Structure 1
Amino acid sequence: MIWLLDLDNTLVGRDDAFAAWAADAVARAGRDASDLAAIVAADQGGFAVKTDVARVIVDRLAWDEDLPTAVDRFRTGILDHVRAYDGALDLLDDLRAGGDLVVVVTNGTSAQQRGKLARCGVEAHVDAVVVSGEEGVDKPDPRLLEIALERVGAADADRAQVWMVGDAAHADVAAGRAAGVRTGWVSRGRAWTDGPLPDAVGTTVHDVVAVARGAALLAP
């Protein structure tokens, strides 16, 4: 099997890192819980326009700096706090030990995503990494998944043996469906509200992989 795995909030705790950084920044600025809530809400799970997030941060924390500098500041804060989820690296090793191919397929800038990979030690545990900022195309565009398959010499792989797994319905699941591969959604306790369910659903990436493996065993 071939696993195309999202990075943020699938293998590493990007939102946890942002929230931890924001809590520290709010405390240092002498602000309160309402400011923290506003900043976290503005981030939209990492999908908001970064300068829009920076504008809320600057306003709430009374920072005396321009928006690009504020963006750099909170991106650095995320890198300082990001961690791989418990057991995530072991899971990657287990998949590869079983003969599967594993590719991280992530949206974001090269510097930020490569920084997270390095901080969390992910790259040594996968066969390849594909970053949207390096390729000029973002999920949900299926071309990013095609690039990932090409990167591991699997451009002609049976799409029924390929899984796109991630936490974002509009990016990860949508990209998988557009590419004609099987899809897994990491719910993190959320309810699915985007139409037909993906092929596998679980609270964590471990849960999704377990469901997907079970589905593969039951397939004719």
Structure 2
Amino acid sequence: MIWLFDLDNTLVGRAEAFGAWASAAVADAGGDGDDLAAIVAADEGGHGSKEALARVIVDRLGWDDDLPAAIERFRAGILEHVRPYEGVLFSLDVLRDAGHRVAVVTNGTSAQQRGKVARCGIEPHVDAIVVSGEEGVAKPDPRIVEIALEWLGAADADRRRVWMVGDAAHADVAVGRAAGTRTAWVSHGQAWDGPDRPDVVAPTTREAIALAASPQGAVVD
């Protein structure tokens, strides 16, 4: 089996890291709960415009930074706080020890995403890392899945034996569908509210892996 994992909010707690940084930044600036709520909302779980987020931060916290400097400032704060989810690296090791191939497939800039990978010690636990900013193509474009499979030496793999695992329906589930793989959605307790439910839905990445790797999740030839 081949496993392709999203990075943010799938292997590492990006939302938690941003929240921790934002809370400290608001406190340092003498802001209040409304400021924090506005900043977190503008982040859109990491999927919003970085320029729009920086503008909200500058306006709310009274920073003198221009927008590019503000972006670099909150990105550095995320790196400072980001951590892997408990037990998830062990789960990756279990998959690889069983002979499965594992890759990270993430949208973002090379510096930021590689920084998270390094900070969380992920590289020794996977076989490949594919970053959209390095490849010039991003989820949900299925070409990024093809690139990952090529890096794994599995370009001709049966797509029924490939899992795309991630928390973002519009990116992770969508790219898996577009590429013809199986899909596992990490819900973080949310309900799936769209059509075409993913093959697996679970509140955490470890639970998603367990379900996908179970006999019920296995491909029946």
Verify same fold: TM over 0.5.
Answer: yes
**TM-score bucket (shorter structure):** over 0.9
SS in 1 for 2:84: coil
Distance change >3 Å, CA 132–CA 217, structure 1 → 2: closer
CA–CA distance in structure 2, aligned partners of residues 216 and 190 of structure 1: 21
| Change in 2 beyond 3 A, CA 1:151/1:62 | same
Query: 1:194 Cα shift?
Result: 2.2
- Tell me if the contact between 1:169 and 1:194 (Cα under 8 Å) persists in the aligned partners: no
Q: Matches of residues 143-158 of structure 1 in structure 2 within 5 Å?
A: 143-158=143-158
State the 1:219 CA deviation: 2.4
Give distance in 1, aligned partners of 2:207 and 2:152.
25
- Residues matched between the structures, number: 220
Q: Which amino acid aligns with 2:99?
A: G
**Which position in structure 2 is the counterpart of 1:197?**
197
Structure 1 unaligned segments of length 5 or more: list them: none
Identify the residue that residue 14 of structure 1 maps to in structure 2. 14
Note the C-alpha offset of 1:218: 6.8
Question: Residue 216 of structure 1: CA displacement?
Answer: 3.9
Instruction: State the match for 2:98 in structure 1.
Output: 98
Residue 123 of structure 2 is matched in structure 1 by 123
| Contact 2:185–2:200, Cα closer than 8 Å, also in 1 | yes
Task: Go from structure 1 to structure 2 and tell me whether the alpha carbon gap of 1:48 and 1:218 turns closer, same or farther (over 3 Å shift).
Answer: closer
Q: What residue identity is the alignment partner of 2:149?
A: L
Contact 2:160 2:219 survives alignment (8 Å): no
Matches of 1:193 and 1:131 in 2, distance apart?
A: 28
Q: Aligned partners of 1:117 and 1:71: how far apart in 2?
A: 19
Contact 1:50/1:71, CA 8 A, preserved across alignment: yes
- Distance in 2, matches of 1:42 and 1:122, equals 28
Partner in structure 2 of residue 53 of structure 1: 53
Distance change >3 Å, CA 114–CA 140, structure 1 → 2:
same
C-alpha contact 2:161 2:219 (8 A) present in aligned 1: no
Per the TM alignment, residue 217 of structure 1 is displaced from its structure 2 partner at its CA by 4.2
Amino acid at match of 2:6: D
Provide the rounded CA distance (Å) in 2 between the counterparts of 1:13 and 1:212: 21
Which residue identity is paired with 2:134? Answer: E
Alpha-carbon RMSD across the aligned residues, in angstroms, is 0.9
Contact 1:10–1:186 (8 Å) recurs in 2: yes
Unaligned runs of 5+ in 2: none
What is the aligned partner in structure 1 of residue 175 from structure 2? 175
Letter in 1 for 2:87: G
Point out 4+ residue stretches in structure 1 off by more than 6 angstroms: none
- In structure 1, the partner of 2:82 is 82
The 3 A distance-change label for structure 1 pair 218 and 66 is closer
| In structure 1, C-alpha distance between the alignment counterparts of 2:37 and 2:137, rounded to whole Å | 32
Amino acid at match of 1:182: R
Alignment partners' CA distance in 2, 1:219 and 1:13: 34
DSSP-derived class of the 1:83 partner: coil
- Identity of counterpart residues, as a percentage? 67
Partner Cα separation in structure 2 for residue 194 and residue 24 of structure 1: 35
What amino acid is the match of 1:110?
A: S
TM-score between the two structures when normalised by the length of structure 2: 0.98
Contact 1:166-1:184 at 8 Å conserved across structures: yes
